[in-house]
Chains A and B, each alone.
Chain A
């Protein structure tokens, strides 16, 4: 049995899906981030000055790019897999000899590709507002891929456990967005008062954004080795949990 064909079929289907609905998937982040750069970076940023030696605009660019990667990799998998479940066309995969790891890999790959594609779109837009430099491309690209992988997995688990469309909007709205905004996109964690610095250190997104920022402009509030270790650790945990849910048939088998 050639599983690579099944894997490619799922990934191609996923890419075709988000390309087909590009006004919902690729256009909004372009507009939203352009507004971020204009309002926070240009209008307000000019009055803020520098953070850790970087202009405010340069400082927020990495965080905004990674925030887009996080939200879109998550959104792609959660909406696609939940729709597949809701319309019952998940049965097409369950009937066929497709192993669970291929199903998971296919959907997560779709999420990674959309997340990174949106990241590239946002990066291109940022070039109209800032001089995008790359301090260490390997670190920037690898943390972006790992972050997209992690949040694609999280989106997959959300979709598997969701029982209604409300359930797939709760986590993005009430968990992901606050954690992203409080993850040091717009400020350095050093700027926070003592207790809030400690609390912020419990936010995993802070580590990913700082690692990505280090990859682009060479500035970080944390040890990036910790960021990589934490992200890989979460990926391993969520991968096993996702495979366990598929094995049990949670939410997809009667």
Chain B
């Protein structure tokens, strides 16, 4: 990717008491504070309607805030608008380019909007489209491209001015697993070359495997903000699915573990961390139950996410 100058010690993004109330009275953001360090790969998660799209909209100048401040690499979004905006590249959730334009003209025009001279814009467009494996499709009218290609056009467009902060708003929604994995690889490369990335996604395994820090937003408030490792360490119980060698008729009762029968040869089990798997297998062997294989029932982050959002909802009720 185009190298970005992201060695600054200041935060890539700082939100202070950011509020947004829409004209219909809906309070989408209730005063959020958030810092994202330069060079971070940051996950901004939340259920639908939580306020994350509003937050991203405000950061990207697509939504006017009601109050509060946004600072991008030290540039206030209101007072140093041009400098702040020059630092950002946005890959939106939905395709938002002119589908009658070619991939090349879409990326070239975006370079022009950022004031990049034509000769340099051509070089950057070629570089970005080649990175996205789209160079041979550059002159095809974009509505004829596949869904995955359209998403890659949007990434190339967002990267053409070598932003220091790249915001990816559900970039892999609706694309197949092969494209998703290639996009993960690409995002990691972009981040390793110094670009700060903020990722929103509903695929929590994506956030877990890519991101170092995380914020969870729910009902217009940040309900969690920490590094991924310490957040996951807080999860006390893992859930596993056990494939059994022989069918069982009754659910085993073992102190410290909770079982749930799915079918004759499949059991779900909740394993508290303090009890671990070794004792579980010893106990199952003692009960004459042979396990062929096991797998995680839910993604760990998904479990935490649900716990945090559920706890917040219950608190409000």
Contacts and interface: CB of A to CB of B under 8 A. Distances in A.
Q: Do A and B originate from a single complex?
A: yes
A16 B102 CA distance: 12
B83, B99, B113, B118 pick with most chain A CB within 10 angstroms:
B113
B60, B61, B112, B118 pick with most chain A CB within 10 angstroms:
B112
Interface of A: 1-3, 5-6, 8-10, 12-13, 16, 83-84, 87-89, 91-99, 249, 253-254
A253 B260 CA distance: 50
B112 A91 contact: no
B92 A91 contact: yes
A183 B116 CA distance: 45
A3 B85 CA distance: 14
B86 A87 contact: no
Interface residues of B, number: 32
Given A1-B86, A5-B112, A5-B115, A95 B98 contact: no
B63 A253 contact: yes
Contacts, number: 81
Q: 6 shortest A-B CB distances, which residue pairs?
A: A9-B112, A96-B113, A97-B82, A97-B85, A88-B96, A2-B115
B112 A95 contact: no
B125 to A, nearest CB: 13
Nearest to A2: B115
Contact of B109 (A2, A9, A87, A254): A9
Contact of A5 (B64, B97, B105, B117): B117
A88, A92, A93, A249 pick with most chain B CB within 10 angstroms:
A92
A97 B81 contact: yes
B110 A96 contact: yes
A6 B115 contact: yes
A92 B112 contact: no
B82 A1 contact: yes
16 contacts: A1-B82, A5-B118, A6-B113, A6-B114, A8-B112, A10-B113, A84-B98, A87-B99, A89-B98, A91-B96, A92-B110, A94-B61, A95-B60, A95-B90, A97-B81, A99-B82
B35 interface: no
B203 interface: no
A1 B90 CA distance: 19
Given A6-B115, A13-B109, A92-B110, 11 more contacts: A1-B115, A3-B115, A9-B109, A91-B90, A95-B62, A96-B113, A96-B114, A97-B113, A97-B115, A99-B82, A253-B62
A5, A87, A97 pick with most chain B CB within 10 angstroms:
A97
Contacts of B54: 254
Given A6-B113, A97-B86, A254-B22, A91 B62 contact: yes
B275 to A, nearest CB: 49
B139 to A, nearest CB: 14
A98 B81 CA distance: 10
A112 B61 CA distance: 29
A249 B22 CA distance: 13
A91 B85 CA distance: 13
Contacts of B22: 254
Nearest to B90: A95
Interface in B89-126: 90, 92, 94, 96-99, 105, 109-110, 112-118
B45 to A, nearest CB: 21
Contact of B113 (A83, A87, A92, A249): A92
B285 to A, nearest CB: 59
A62 to B, nearest CB: 36
A91 B61 CA distance: 9
Interface string B10-34: 0000000000001000000000000
B88 interface: yes
B47 interface: no
B157 interface: yes
A253 B23 CA distance: 12
B97 A95 contact: no
